[in-house]
Amino acid sequence: MKAMVFPGQGSQFPGMAQDLYDSHDSARLRFEEAADLLGFDISKVMFTGSAEDLKQTNVTQPAIFLHAVILAEGLRNTGAFDADFVAGHSLGEFSALVAAGALNFADGLKLVAQRADAMQAACKAVPSTMAAILGLEDAVVEEICAAQDGIVVPANYNCPGQLVISGETGAVEQACEALKEAGARRALMLPVGGAFHSPLMEPARAVLEQAIEKTPLKAPQCPIVQNVTGRAESDPAVIRTQLVAQLTAPVRWTQTMETLLASGVTSITEIGPGKVLQGLFKKVDRSLETASAVWTQ
């Protein structure tokens, strides 16, 4: 059994997807379509922009989506897209749905752009941030977050022993100190502009809900394991609801990986920039076959 997985924010890098643009006419057409839909030439930022340029949420999210979807389409056109399951980390869930035929390219990109703009606006409303906590059980992190004054919650269950927390800046800083006292190996503040996957994203969730309700969504060609529950879904109504909830709910990637492994998946292909998700799978089961997708024709 095979799963194809799609990365989220943080996997971007300067020059991303230029190899696809240079090698494939269909990739160039997608970049042109994306420029029309977004209202700016995203290829210029992706190919020649700095790492700092690419960190802007309204650039990062469409860039990663575009890279992943173009690569997935290339695999499909050459008969190399043969997933039994798909999954995506946060933003990657939108890429996964397009790759699995549940969303079309234009609708997916529009939603990603609206999501990014809404998240960026929400980030400006309250001073907020995120921090990576290494070396503690999830239950300990959850308990310490709940004990803090202010908003701080688990946001990304990335793998056993690696959990990202999110919330108001002061509350996150206090939680980090308490977590280090509780034995965390690292409690590292992250260079992000806001508290993704926390209650502070509620204004963005409300905006995205309206957009998603208006967007056609079909059953995917294979099940998608969704972030909110870590369970495989094929029902468009359920997928739609959980796509909205994802903005304020934690990314349950640990549970997503467990679901895929329990379903008999032995091969993981990461589609998009970077190798972050392959690394997380290897932490769970080193015997898994993992690879980065390559469009060779």
Strand, coil or helix: 10: coil
d(CA 71, CA 6): 11
* H helices present in the chain, as ranges: 18-23, 25-38, 42-48, 51-54, 57-77, 92-99, 105-125, 138-146, 169-181, 202-213, 236-245, 253-262, 276-284
Residues with Cβ within 8 Å of residue 115, at least 6 apart in sequence: 61, 91, 94, 204, 208, 211, 247
Q: Are 268 and 3 in contact (CB under 8 A)?
A: yes
d(CA 171, CA 164): 14
Give the Cα-Cα-Cα angle 185, 268, 51 (nearest 5 degrees).
60
Catalytic residues: 90, 197
